[in-house]
Every structure is written in structure tokens, then in C-alpha cells.
């Protein structure tokens, strides 16, 4: 069994001062919204501590429509050169096709080891599907049929990226995507920017990673995460996923 030292703090909760009507109004007009101070301060700090010290990260990448994860045990025996070769091969695909290269840990990974249920991330996943948060998602999007919120913790390090896509996958019933930012300090020069791509190919808007911010975007909508610069000294932490209905 994996050894996990859980973060012992208050349960996850929304910031009680959020103006949900204002947030919903921005989302209705623009199809996306940036919400600062989304969680309680204690919740956000605990979640960052979990992501930065406790998560057993998988290296995630794709080959066309297939997605792969390199487990921590497999990463431990990979040489730097092997990882660099893998990164370069994915970057070649990224020239003309969708490609991604970053670290992740999904809600479905929690079942792979009983010890993972003690992670604060597990508490967050439960909270995201609680009546309180489901009601928040419905009010913001105006879609009363939302019944499920899935989640994956992500870590983007130097050289990591996610190219343009719109999240519209048949059968997934995605209403909106979300990104819960959990990086304490970041600057635009480091990359890792959530970019929204206009129909003419220009970047219409970009959200620089900020701590305890919740970005919500309507699906479908073209967006990407710009490559994290080689000189970036820290990792870009977030929790991402979708607000979904049970049927189309």
C-alpha cells in the first residue's frame, strides 16, 4: 500500500462572499468567467499543500486519440534522456495536431489504492459533487440539469503544454469546463496561460494562473494552455474538469 500522510484541515467549501448572480451574469454574456478567491482560504491552502506534497503524479500524454499515463514507479526508472525523447516525440505531433504533455491525477485514480481516499483531493472530489457545489454550477451556467462534476489534479512543469481543443466529446454531456488555480505565485513570462482562441486564430483572452481562482468556460470553446517556459522555477498546480449532465 502507498504511504500517504493526509492533510488534516477543514473540509473544502466555497468562499461565502461569492456574488453568484454577478458571476452568472458574466458567464451568460461572455461564455467564460474568472472567479477570484473561489474557495475559503483554508480550503485553498490545504488543497495546494496536498497537490504540492502528497499527490502521486502520473505523466500524461497522448498519441492521436489515445491517452497514456506513466505511473510514478515507471517514472522512477526512466532516465532523463528517455523522458526528453518522449517529450520531443509528443512535441513533433503538436506541430499540426492536438497534443498534451503534463502530470495528472484523476478522480478515478483514487480507487487504485485505498490509501488515496485519505488525500484532501478525495475530499475535494466529494465536495464538487455535493448539493452545495452542484447548485453553484447550475446557477452560474443556467443549466439546471447538471448532475456531475469530474476532476483531475494537474501539474505543468517546464516544457509542459496542452494545445488547442474545445472539450466537445460525444457522449460526455459537458456543459462547461473549469480550472481551479492553485499556484501561489506566477507571472505571465512563465507561460502556462489558459488561452481562449478566436475564430480567426488570434488569442482573444488569456488567464494567467492565480491562486484560488476558478475559471469556468462554456463547452464547446477553443482554448489551450501555453507551454511553460524552460526557466520557470515552480510548477503550475490546478484542478480541472467539467460540469456535466446525466444525459444529452
In a domain, 8, yes or no: no
Q: At residue 12, does pLDDT exceed 80?
A: yes
Dist CA 180 CA 240 (whole Å): 6
Angle at 28 between CA 15 and CA 153, to 5 degrees: 50
Calpha distance 196→211 (Å, rounded): 20
Number of domains in the chain: 1
Write the pLDDT tens digit of every residue in 21-60.
999 999 999 999 999 999 999 999 999 999 999 999 999 9
Per-position DSSP letters for 12-53, written without gaps between them:
P-B-TT--HHHHHHHHHHHSEEEESS-B-HHHHHHHHHHHHH
What confidence tens digit (pLDDT) does each residue in 58-68 have? 999 999 989 99
- Provide the CATH number for the domain around residue 63: 3.60.130.20
What are the tens digits of pLDDT across the range 167-187?
A: 999 999 999 999 999 999 999
User: Would residue 9 count as lying in a domain?
Assistant: no
Looking at the domain assignment, is residue 2 inside a domain?
Answer: no
Question: Does residue 208 lie in a domain region?
Answer: yes
| Domain with 166 in it | 20-245
What's the first-to-final CA gap in the chain, in angstroms?
A: 39
Q: Look at residue 188 and tell me if it is in a domain.
A: yes
Residue 104 CA to its chain's centroid (Å): 9
Amino acid at each position: 500500500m502507498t504511504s500517504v500522510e493526509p492533510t488534516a484541515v477543514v473540509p473544502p467549501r466555497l468562499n461565502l462572499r461569492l456574488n453568484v448572480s454577478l458571476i452568472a451574469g458574466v458567464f451568460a454574456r461572455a461564455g467564460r468567467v474568472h472567479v477570484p478567491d473561489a474557495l475559503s482560504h483554508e480550503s485553498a491552502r490545504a488543497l495546494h499543500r496536498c497537490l504540492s506534497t502528497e499527490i502521486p503524479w502520473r505523466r500524461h500524454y497522448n498519441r492521436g486519440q489515445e491517452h497514456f499515463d506513466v505511473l510514478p514507479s515507471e517514472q522512477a526508472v526512466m532516465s532523463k534522456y528517455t523522458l526528453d525523447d518522449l517529450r520531443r516525440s509528443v512535441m513533433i505531433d503538436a506541430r499540426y495536431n492536438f497534443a498534451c504533455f503534463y502530470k495528472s491525477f484523476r478522480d478515478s485514480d483514487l480507487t487504485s489504492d485505498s490509501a488515496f481516499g485519505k488525500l484532501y483531493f478525495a475530499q475535494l472530489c466529494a465536495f464538487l459533487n455535493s448539493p452545495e457545489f452542484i447548485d453553484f454550477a447550475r446557477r452560474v451556467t443556467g443549466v439546471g440539469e447538471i448532475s456531475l462534476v469530474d476532476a483531475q489534479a494537474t501539474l505543468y512543469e517546464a516544457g509542459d503544454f496542452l494545445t488547442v481543443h474545445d472539450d466537445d466529446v460525444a457522449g460526455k454531456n459537458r456543459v462547461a469546463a473549469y480550472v481551479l488555480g492553485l499556484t501561489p505565485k506566477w507571472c505571465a513570462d512563465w507561460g502556462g496561460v489558459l488561452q481562449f482562441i478566436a475564430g480567426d486564430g488570434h488569442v482573444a483572452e488569456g488567464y494567467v494562473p492565480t491562486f484560488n481562482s476558478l475559471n469556468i468556460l462554456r463547452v464547446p470553446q477553443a482554448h489551450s494552455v501555453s507551454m511553460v517556459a524552460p526557466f520557470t522555477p515552480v510548477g503550475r498546480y490546478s484542478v480541472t474538469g467539467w460540469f456535466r449532465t446525466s444525459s444529452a
